[in-house]
């Protein structure tokens, strides 16, 4: 066997080190870029204010970061697990969650890595497994969160009875699962073509309720700011939130009466 001269061996090691440094540099740049992209959007004061308990709703935060809203008047039998929108902290949905819980429903907002639900699609399992007293479950969420809730249903057939989409759509075909679906969105949301395309609607099955919020946009589905490329709404955030709460309460009430059938 011929041994390369020392100079060739040194040159080979230098090239290998250079390649390694380039790879490490690219990885570092990718990490910095991702962390910059994943910076959470700012919350509005109403979001954190809704994290306090009231006479009607007990608010608690689990060790995994899940925010739980439990009605106090009577033990709930219907529950909703919400996934946050992309880069949106869970607390942005606390005002709506607390208002829904006031009607007698258990509501949980899950905490996901980097506020991106794609990194913890199965987060609802922890909530559902921890509350065997709940007879009927819905999962859902805003934008990316709603889409990942749909993925959860696709991977866990028969576990939940309903899907709540706030300005969102399903990339998974749920038409054969028989779940009830609520799709609520603002008419000024740039995502409306995706929410209403025949292909995406067909994936939701025949137990589908659409709710168009005239003059609503994407950001006003939560209590945060900084939604890029979002047209300004022509209704107030509170008016849009009131509508979301109303239709979601109604949907959960139907689940409680009819379950998965």
pLDDT under 50: residue ranges of the chain: 24, 26-38
pLDDT score at 37:
43
pLDDT score at 102:
98
pLDDT score at 192:
98
pLDDT score at 40:
76
Query: What's the rounded Cα separation, in Å, for the pair 12 and 106?
Result: 63
Q: How many CA atoms lie within 13 A of 60 on its CB side?
A: 9
pLDDT score at 46:
98
Q: How far is CA 261 from the centre of its chain?
A: 25
CA distances to 16, 21, 67, 228 from 79, in Å: 56, 51, 13, 32
Residue 195: which of 180, 217, 178, 177 has the closest Cα?
217
> What global pTM score does this model have?
0.87
Q: How many residues does the chain have?
A: 261
pLDDT score at 257:
80
């Amino acid at each position: 066997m011929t041994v390369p001269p020392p100079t060739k061996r040194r040159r080979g090691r230098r090239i290998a080190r250079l390649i390694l440094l380039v790879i490490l540099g690219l990885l570092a740049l990718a990490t910095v870029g991702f962390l910059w992209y994943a910076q959470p959007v700012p919350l509005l004061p109403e979001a954190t204010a809704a994290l306090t308990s009231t006479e009607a709703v007990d608010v608690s935060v689990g060790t995994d970061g899940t925010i739980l809203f439990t009605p106090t008047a009577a033990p709930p039998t219907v529950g909703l697990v919400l996934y946050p929108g992309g880069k949106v902290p869970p607390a942005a949905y606390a005002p709506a969650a607390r208002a829904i819980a006031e009607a007698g429903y258990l509501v949980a907002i899950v905490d996901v890595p980097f506020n991106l639900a794609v990194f913890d699609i199965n987060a609802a399992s922890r909530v559902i497994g921890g509350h065997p007293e709940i007879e009927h479950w819905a999962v859902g969420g805003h934008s990316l969160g709603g889409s990942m809730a749909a993925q959860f249903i696709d991977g866990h057939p028969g576990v939940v009875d309903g899907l709540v989409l706030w300005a969102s759509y399903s990339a998974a075909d749920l038409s054969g699962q028989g779940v009830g679906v609520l799709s609520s969105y603002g008419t000024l949301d740039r995502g409306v073509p995706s929410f209403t395309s025949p292909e995406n609607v067909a994936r939701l099955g025949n137990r589908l309720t659409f709710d168009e919020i005239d003059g609503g946009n994407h950001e006003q589905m939560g209590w945060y700011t900084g939604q890029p490329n979002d047209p300004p709404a022509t209704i107030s955030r509170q008016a849009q939130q009131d509508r979301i709460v109303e239709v979601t309460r109604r949907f959960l009430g139907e689940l409680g009466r009819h379950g998965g059938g």
